Structure 1
């Protein structure tokens, strides 16, 4: 279903889940996809289980998403019964803030805000992979 919008609104007609941060650079998206292909979602999930700080990233994301809406958007969201979801669901639509779903959205949120533990871990993995690639060229 295409993501059409109501005139004068940033809220899509079909779904309340539209990330306000995203990776646009193809190379970066591909590198994060490689991490996902290598099962790093599960690896980071295990690290996350031992760290409470990531829950705050989800809460902040939901709060930022709500604050970015116009009064018209808020009215529309409330009329569709989406208020609870948009106020209480985190990055990538996660309801349980101790789960990892999509490295792309966590990383994009980290790049946009500098405050996302999983995104920070993704950055470290990307940096480590870049160092390994550079050493292989010598």
Structure 2
């Protein structure tokens, strides 16, 4: 199933918030599909073609606390542990491959005819048909938790659910030991 965010025009205030979070003016900002409880941007959606350059990564995580939390997990080796779990499970591998297929369809659904034509003119049509979440070609690899989790917050996916499960288990362990 493909989920789409409600697309509302990005306000000047939101654009300013995103610029502050990124430390620069956002390029290709299309909308803000996920905000926190106070309305602050958590995930942004970027155009697939920006300044005549392809951007296969559709969703970007801009929430600083969530980015930091994921940075810490990556530094503690979580990608390798999750990847080992995925490598040992045909079901998880199949689920991830389907996540990529759905993400490719979602990204394509946001593209205009002009975007598709520009991407084809630049010779990147195959890239957009083949690369899924975070521009990943190998559909059984994680590569980056940030891109998976940004996509997960918009449309749930396997790696995002594994990360949520990891955090629930860590919280439960803290409760037991605390």
TM-score, normalised by the number of residues in structure 1 = 0.82
> Are 1:63 and 2:105 matched, yes or no?
yes
Which structure has the highest strand share of the two? 2
Aligned residues: 131
- With over 3 angstroms needed to count, the CA separation of the structure-2 counterparts of 1:123 and 1:61, relative to structure 1, is same
Higher relative contact order (CA 8 A, sep 6+): 1
User: Are the structure 2 counterparts of residues 29 and 99 from structure 1 closer, same or farther at C-alpha, using a change threshold of 3 Å?
Assistant: same
SS class of match (1:22): strand
Select 2:79's aligned residue among 37, 41, 45.
Answer: 41
Unmatched segments (≥5 aa) in structure 1: none
Partner of 2:114: 72
Residue 120 (structure 1) aligns with: 161
Quick check: 1:31 aligned with 2:69? yes
Gaps of at least 5 residues in structure 2 are 1-24, 29-46
